[in-house]
Amino acid sequence: LNAAPGRAPRQRVRFLPAPGGSGAVELVAARVPVLADHPLVRGPRFRKLKIGAGHRLDVKASGVFVLGIGHGNKLLTDLYNCHLTKVYTVGGLFGKATDDFSDTGNLVEKTTFDHITREKLERILAVIHGTNQKALLMYSNIDMKTQEAYELAVKGLIRPMGKSPPIITAVRILQFALPEFQLEIHCLHETQQYLRKMVHEIGLELKSSAVCTQVRRIRDGAFTVDDALPRTQWKLQSIQEAIRNCQLKVETELKKTL
Amino acid sequence: RRGLGVAAGPPSTCQLREAEEAAPVFQYAGKAARRKDRVFVWGFSYSGALGVPSFVRPDAGWKKPRRIQPTPYRLETEEKISSAACGYGFTLLASNTRDITKVWGMGLNKDSQLGFQRSRRDQTKGYEYVLEPSPIPLPLEKPQQTRVLQVSCGRAHSLVLTDSEGVFTMGNNSYGQCGRKVVEDEIYSGSHLIHQLKEFDSRVVQVVCGQDHSLFRTKKGTVYACGWGADGQTGLGHYNITSVPTKLHGDIAGVNIIQVSSCGDCCLAVSDEGDVFGWGNSEYLQLASVTETTQVNVPRHLPFKIGKIKEAACGGTGNVVLTEEGNVFVWGYGILGKGPNLIETAVPEMIPPSLFGWSDFSPDTRVAHVRCGLSQFAALTNRGELFVWGKNLRGCLGTGRMEDQYFPWRVTVPGEVVDVACGVDHMVSMVRSF
């Protein structure tokens, strides 16, 4: 970054004695660069970079992680206040229950799972969806008796714009092959451990047990996996390009919500 | 070094794997695990209509009487309940069984709408309030063969439909709603009389109670009515009392009716071709699309251009229909479900399907059934979810809040809701567990 050509030095108008010709003291206006802007005086432009993190991502989880650099940190508070949904792919395994709900924990119990069918899983997910829809309406702090509450509910735009417990807005089965299954979960204000706990509870509801094998965030508000940079591309050019590509999206999103 | 044992450090991965494989496997549910059928009740409990005696008379010192049950509460029943009906302060539950006891009743019994419930304190008198589901003795000819198909409750009378022995009626008969001749100064409290109705042109397949009148639908598609007619709800062309079930004519003559519905003083009927007919009270614009009069005593066809109608439900002041595509239309007066601004309309308005759980994520979620209480509406989706809206009289909506609900709201029931019966201030639902 420091090697990139920086800002041109500021120019100042100074009245300097005219060149040549001794004797006559004539002042001529001339534009000279300010000495304070000289690179040898100023030193390297960047000594530290402020990087802020967006929504938290676990050590055991993977996926899109939003960072703010420099002035972008101011947009991070706006990101929090937008309360947009995040999308995760959660992989689970039936038949085991561990103490920290993931497959690397200490085993608590093993159960049978051959009675589980896709239909039963869909039923449980419908109940989860239903209770979370209710929570969505309740925590949004809108007076249910107003006409605008009705209109927002029709469009599906009601969501909590303040602090709330984790809420799941949509669930869908992506893959189901006993004992493994994979779900796509859209949620708000959640933590990855909450998602693992949910997998465990789904196992309990189906009268068996389940552990979570994978949590991957594929979308965080307006940022998807396609915008995200994998470890091989953590270079200055790709970072700058990614920021440029996302600028438009970020602006439209902010204008829409706030 | 004696080496009496190896020091136990943290278990290595292969030790952990071995321990995991050696762990016992528990089985909580086998492949043949059946889904259980349950009954959930909620609403006003002091009349005994919820069937939980401890709400009215607490049986333990720490329990307090519960006037309102705001969320669904599980009711233990001996048999699987196939049909339920809520009246004004009482409930009937019926099972499809061949056992002797087929119908249970609870709640208000001041007009013997639950039959004669012999009091244990005084063998000659009956209970006026029944707090627990108590068997109703029906005078069946073949009690171990006949099955009860359906029950229905009105303000102070009840109807029980059997498969081979016609319809049994009990309760108040001051307007002939039980289908027998009105006896002057008859005392209905503690009465043993249960009347049997058999004279119809074919087998009765559906019975519906309005507030003080009864409707019978036969297999041939005809509708019979008896009871109070001052609002024209009997549909017989006059405004008098009818004490014998009489066939209806008007616009439904010759039409094969597949469903009838009534709760207050207005009635709706759906034909097999998807048309809807209405008669009775029209003070709340229920029939204003065809006539300006406030009482219609002959069935009239309601020319709505909303598609083929599958099911209709009639409430006290508002009506709701369900079309073949799964759309819900409401009209009438009161809280209709489209926000606080829509108070009355004579023409059906559709409730957007997104309020019933339809979204891009689940595009095949649709409403499967609609039911009506006196001032509440209920809708069941094909995913087994129950949505309610309307006036929340004494907590009857089951949402957990005491405020009125202006648009469809999910009721959290631990199971898949199969059917729901709505009354004035309480509701009963039949649920299958997961």
A122, A124, A150: best to mutate for the B interface, most B CBs within 10 A: A150
What's the ipTM? 0.78
Q: Does residue A120 belong to the interface with chain B, where contact is any CB pair within 8 Å?
A: yes
pLDDT of residue B350: 92
Nearest residue in B to A121, CA atom:
B434
Q: Which residues of B touch A123 (CB under 8 A)?
A: 383-384, 416, 434
- Which residue ranges in chain B fall short of pLDDT 70? 1-3, 6-7
Share of chain A above pLDDT 90, in %: 21
Shortest distance between the Cα of B35 and any Cα of chain A, in A, equals 11
Identity (one letter) of the amino acid at B266?
C
Q: Which two tokens stand for residue B106?
A: 């609870």
Nearest residue in A to B401, CA atom:
A138
Q: Assess if CATH 3.30.2350.10 describes domain A51-257.
A: yes
Residue in A96, A120, A137 closest to B434 by CB: A120
Q: DSSP letter at B88?
A: S
pLDDT of residue B206: 94
Q: DSSP letter at A70?
A: G
pLDDT of residue A20: 66
Q: Which two tokens stand for residue B85?
A: 């009906």
Provide the whole-model pTM. Answer: 0.85
**B133, β-bridge pairs:** none
Nearest residue in B to A110, CA atom:
B25
For chain A, domain boundaries = 51-257
Calpha distance B152→B215 (Å, rounded) = 10
Extended strands (E) in B79-182: 81-86, 90-95, 103-108, 129-135, 148-153, 157-162, 167-171
Q: Which two tokens stand for residue B249?
A: 């004519």
- Element containing residue B308 per DSSP (H, E): none
CB contact at 8 A, B424 and A166:
no
Shortest distance between the Cα of A57 and any Cα of chain B, in A, equals 25
- Which residue ranges in chain A fall short of pLDDT 50? none
8 Å CB contact of B410 and A134 = yes
pLDDT of residue B280: 92
Q: What burial class does residue B90 get, using C-beta atoms within 10 Å of its C-beta: 0-12 exposed, 13-18 middle, 19+ buried?
A: buried
Shortest distance between the Cα of A175 and any Cα of chain B, in A, equals 16
Residue in A111, A129, A150 closest to B407 by CB: A150
Residue in A145, A170, A207 closest to B29 by CB: A207
8 Å CB contact of A126 and B405 = no
Closest by alpha carbon to B397, among B337, B339, B345? B337
pLDDT of residue B75: 92
CB contact at 8 A, B429 and B93:
no
Catalytic center residues of A: 58
